[in-house]
Structure formats: C-alpha cells, structure tokens
Amino acid sequence: MALNVIKISPVRPATPSLSPVILPLTFFDLLWLHLVPTNRVIFYKLTESSSSRDSFHSAILPKLERSLSLVLAHFLPLSGHLNWDPQAPKPHILISPHDAVSLTVAETDADFSKNSTKGIRPRKELRALVPELPVSSYSSPVMTLQITLFPSQGFCMGLSLHHAVADGKTVVKFLKSWAHICKHGAAPRDFDLPMVLDRTVVNVPAELEAKISRDKASVARSVSLHPAAEETDDLVKLTLELSHEDVEKLRERARRESTRSDLPHLSTFVVTYAYVLACVVKARGGEEEEDRLVPFMYVADFRQRLHPPVPVNYFGNCVLPINFYGYKATTFSGKDGFVNGVEILGDSIRGLSSRGAEESLWELYEEGLKWAEPGTPKVIVAGSNRFGIYGSDFGWGRPVNTENTSLTRNILFTMSERRDEIGGVEIGMCLKRCETDVFVSLFRNGL
C-alpha cells in the first residue's frame, strides 16, 4: 500500500546554476537503450521497536531522505531525465536545476522473512516492492525509488533505473555511497566523489559512435523499452548459493576434466557461469532438442581496456555485451558440458585481454548485431561477485538479502558475492515453476 510519493532533490550549491546540463549518451550507453529497467530490491531487518510506524517515520525515513539528497549531489544524472528529441541524432540526459527523484513510501502487512528469503517464492511477491519507471517514447526519468515498511519487522528498498544511463558498477557505487552518507554523515573518501560526468574520457572511435547512433535512429528515435516478459503465476524467483569450498571444487573439476594444457584462468566468474549454463541447458530440454542453438552472453568492463583508461569514478555505462550464437545444446548437456563452458568463457575473456580495444569494440559490436532464431531465449548473466553489494549498510546493519528482479524474455541470472562468506557466490534466477525443481536438483547434485 503506497502511503506517499516524495520528491527528493539533490543538495545544491548556495548559488546554483540556472542552466540545465546536457550529457550525450556514449557508445556504451546506447548499447542498452531499450533494455528493460534495472530493478533491485534490498531488505533490511530492524528491531521491533525501531521498525514501528512511529519510529520509522520519525527517525529512519527522514535520515534516508536527507542522505539521499546529499548523495544525489554526487550522482546528479540520477535526478535527471533521459530524452530524445525526434530531430536530434541521439538521446541525452537532461539535468535541470529543479529536478528531483520520485521516492514512494509504502507499507505492507506481508511477512518480511518470507519476502526476504533466499529460497524459492513466487516472483509476483517481489514486484510490488519495486517502483514503476514511467517511460514515454521521448522521455523517461532516470531513476525511481521505493521504500516499503514491514511494520515491526524491517523495510525494503526498491530501485528502478533506465539501463542506458548507468551500468551495475555505477549503480552499486551509488547505493554504497548513499549508505555510507546515511550511516556516517559524509561520503566515502575512497570513492573519489563526485562522479566524473565528462563524456570525452570515454575514448571510442568516432566512426563507431556514429554507426551505433545511426543504427538506433534507423529503428526509432525513442527511449522506450522493449516489452518485458509476461508476469504470470508460474514464474518463481530463486536464489542459490555456492560456498567458497564449492567454487574450489568446480575449479578442481575443470582442471581434472579438461584435456587442454593451456586451460584459461579459472576465475570464480568463469566456473560459476559455466556451471549455471550447463544446469540451465540440461533442465530445459530432452534428447530431441540437442541440436537447438543455445545463445548466451556476458558483459565485459572496458574501463581499464580503453586508452587512456576511464576514471574509476566515471558515471555511466562502460560495459560491452559479449555474445555467443553458434553453440548447440549438446555442447553443454553432456558429461563435458561444464568443462566446455569453462573453456569457451575462459578463452573469450583471455582473448579480450590480448586484442586491442578498438579492434575488440568493432568486432564485438558487429557480433552483437546477429540474431539467434526468433523466440530462442538467451542465457544472460548480470551483476558481479566483485561489486560488494552487501556492503550497503545504512546504519541498521548489512542487508539480509538483495536481488535483481528485472524480468526479461531471456534467461537472466544474477551473480553476487555471498553475504556471510568471502569467496562464495549467490545466484539469482527467475524460472517457470515446471523448470525449477529440475534445475535446483541439477545444481545441488552436480557438484
């Protein structure tokens, strides 16, 4: 139940400029222009006394609002709008002096423990905790927020953000900065705030910038989003975990099963993705579907791959989708499925490091324009086990759970660090109920 919608403006200088700021989208931003919004929920457990209605509205909510206003001054584009004038060659972010972020304050009598569990539950239970992002054809707010109180239990923070404005690393930096200001009253020194908004620090060939602008404009001069997957009763959200010991077992298994002497670096990301990929393929098809194509994708951070490198405190997207379209289900469904995935992903990451950035950008962008067979879902990973999202402590302890709840027509799974163990991984997925039992069984018994 929504109680109120508050507009939170960034703290401005004593003599603020009355002129709007216009930030053009870069090549990396345009890649994600029509993708479904980034949706995230973060659950915080409170004591019974601090989560009473009176205590929440008199102490906790004002502190969250004030710190949000302070942090937005360091992340100004989040209070702006993404616009595309039909006469302009490409979209831009418009930051006006009186912009504000919409913050919905809500309350629910639902069970906090049930909603914040890391197990399996209907996805619809999470949907009400995420605010809508009101996108029109030519304009969209960059971000909307929602704080939902579970009286005498805790609260949930929900976020919806247009992906063309910021990638996962930028979003997590915003959340951790907001948390630090709320808890300590000042921004974290090691984050080098405010964020860098200068687009010239992203050194991409001008011809490539022009090409992607033409490609997007030729379809539609619009910031509207691709339709999300239909919200149905048979969709469930599940969170599974790999302990540090499990990850080490997967590394040893890859070394044992591979026949190659030049096995790529067995990072936690590579062995986890390969394991999830093999489990998904096995769970979704029988022998008659072994010849079906299995497209899949990960994203590569190009901040340190460009010349010169992009500043660590740059605001925006700087990741590129790395697509695979030519592999069949049989590659991952047999006894060598896991190690095949390890070698394919590991070789790809190693190849990025060995090629020049400009060559990689052109080749990988062209590869991404290919399409798999219509209706073929792509396995996509979002997030990272290196972001440190569980470090978002606003003063009431670390989150008990946090999840990406974006719903796409592909098979999206998310990866983050485990809350209570260094070296472990959390995997979040949304599957049809009929697929869930098979996938979970494969995941838990395949180690």
SS3 105: strand
317-349: per-residue pLDDT in tens? 999 999 999 899 999 999 999 999 999 999 999
The angle subtended at Cα 315 by Cα 309 and Cα 316, nearest 5°, is 90
- In the predicted model, what is the mean pLDDT of residues 398-423? 91
Choose the catalytic residue: 34, 74, 92, 163. 163
Would you place residue 1 in the very low, low, confident or very high pLDDT band (cuts 50, 70, 90)? low
Cite the DSSP H helix spans in 117-198: 124-127, 168-184
Q: Cβ distance 201 to 82 under 8 Å?
A: no
pLDDT for 229 equals 64
Q: Cβ distance 95 to 139 under 8 Å?
A: no
Would you place residue 180 in the very low, low, confident or very high pLDDT band (cuts 50, 70, 90)? very high
Please give the Cα distance from 278 to 340 (Å, whole number): 9
pLDDT for 231 equals 65
How distant, in Å, are the alpha carbons of 77, 92, 99, 174, 352 from that of 21? 9, 10, 11, 20, 35
pLDDT for 324 equals 94
Strand partners, 120: 238
pLDDT for 409 equals 74
Task: Look up residue 60 and give its DSSP letter.
Answer: I
| Residue 393 known to be catalytic | yes
240-280: per-residue pLDDT in tens? 999 999 999 999 999 999 999 999 889 999 999 999 999 99
268: its two tokens: 């936690």
- In the predicted model, what is the mean pLDDT of residues 115-120? 89
Query: Above pLDDT 90, what percent of the chain?
Result: 73
pLDDT for 21 equals 93
* In the block, residue with structure tokens 């995230």: 40
Would you place residue 51 in the very low, low, confident or very high pLDDT band (cuts 50, 70, 90)? confident
Comparing CA positions, the residue from 415, 443, 419, 439 lying closest to residue 345 is: 415
pLDDT for 253 equals 97
Residue 377 CB coordination number (10 Å): 17
Please give the Cα distance from 236 to 354 (Å, whole number): 40
How distant, in Å, are the alpha carbons of 27, 44, 299 from that of 209? 5, 42, 19
343-382: per-residue pLDDT in tens? 999 999 999 987 777 778 988 998 888 766 666 789 999 9
Choose the catalytic residue: 246, 301, 336, 393. 393
pLDDT for 289 equals 67
Greater confidence, 23 or 373?
23
198-236: per-residue pLDDT in tens? 999 999 999 999 999 999 998 888 999 877 666 677 788
pLDDT for 290 equals 72
The angle subtended at Cα 428 by Cα 425 and Cα 433, nearest 5°, is 140
Please give the Cα distance from 147 to 131 (Å, whole number): 9
299: its two tokens: 């994203």
Comparing CA positions, the residue from 410, 411, 120, 408 lying closest to residue 241 is: 120
Q: Cβ distance 407 to 377 under 8 Å?
A: no
Average per-residue pLDDT for the chain: 91
Which segment of 1-10, 133-142, 166-175, 417-426 scores lowest on mean pLDDT?
1-10
328: its two tokens: 């069949």
Would you place residue 431 in the very low, low, confident or very high pLDDT band (cuts 50, 70, 90)? confident
Would you place residue 17 in the very low, low, confident or very high pLDDT band (cuts 50, 70, 90)? low
Total-model pTM: 0.95
Task: Look up residue 198 and give its DSSP letter.
Answer: -
Query: Is residue 287 predicted with pLDDT exceeding 60?
Result: no
Which segment of 91-105, 120-134, 243-257 scores lowest on mean pLDDT?
120-134
Contacts of 48 (CB under 8 A, 6+ apart): 152, 153
